């Protein structure tokens, strides 16, 4: 863990956040930050933090830290979603905008694109969340123990 991130997590632990709660907030933030549907992760984190009573600062920091993964995972998630749904007519994102056509013809393709991305994210994020949470919980428990 880099020095700045380490100090930020130490600060949250010193502020009364338990290692388990911090691990859950960071895990949820990272998982949502990997959602390959641009423009929704910040608002989604606010809603999840409120609904699950998670620390908003921790979840948003993890979300913003993970956002580059949105871009990096876009095509792998698209390919995985296409494979999972077996939808050969779905096009790559760069092929979705034939400017000469009416936009209404694109809506079904955009819908399929979103379905592929979301399904792939769900399939990958659930096991990733379990593993990440277990690892972070151990890390934060050790950090809290060394702080005492």
Helix 56-85 vs helix 41-52: crossing angle, to nearest 10: 120
- Grade residue 145 by pLDDT with cuts at 50, 70 and 90: confident
Q: What is the pTM of this model?
A: 0.79
Residue 11: predicted pLDDT: 59
Domain coverage including residue 124: 3-147
Higher pLDDT, 120 or 39: 120
> Rounded CA gap, 145 and 141, in Å?
6
What percent helix, strand, coil does the chain show, rounded to 5?
80, 0, 20
Give yes or no for a contact between 50 and 60, defined as CB atoms under 8 angstroms apart: no
Contacts for 59 with CB less than 8 Å, ≥ 6 apart: 25, 26, 28, 29, 32, 45, 48, 49
Residue 90: predicted pLDDT: 47
Q: Structure tokens of 10?
A: 């130490």
What is the domain count for the chain? 1
Average pLDDT, the chain: 83
| % of residues, the chain, pLDDT over 90 | 59
16 phi, psi to nearest 5 deg: 100, 0
Q: Which of 4-18, 38-52, 100-114 has the lowest mean pLDDT?
A: 4-18
What pLDDT digit, counting tens, does each position of 80-123 carry?
998 998 865 545 544 555 555 566 777 788 888 889 999 999 99
> Rounded CA gap, 131 and 138, in Å?
11
Give yes or no for a contact between 73 and 36, defined as CB atoms under 8 angstroms apart: yes
pLDDT (average), residues 63-69:
93
């Amino acid at each position: 863990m880099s020095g700045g991130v380490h100090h930020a997590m130490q600060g949250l632990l010193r502020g009364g956040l338990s290692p388990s709660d911090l691990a859950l907030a960071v895990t949820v933030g990272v998982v949502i930050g990997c959602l390959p549907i641009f423009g929704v992760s910040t608002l989604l984190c606010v809603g999840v933090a409120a609904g699950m009573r998670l620390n908003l600062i921790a979840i948003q920091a993890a979300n913003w830290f993970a956002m580059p993964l949105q871009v990096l995972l876009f095509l792998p998630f698209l390919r995985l979603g296409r494979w999972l749904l077996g939808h050969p007519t779905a096009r790559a994102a760069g092929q979705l905008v034939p400017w000469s056509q009416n936009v209404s013809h694109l809506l079904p393709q955009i819908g399929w694109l979103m379905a592929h991305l979301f399904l792939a994210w769900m399939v990958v994020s659930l096991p990733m969340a379990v593993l990440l949470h277990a690892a972070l919980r151990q890390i934060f428990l050790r950090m809290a123990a060394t702080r005492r």
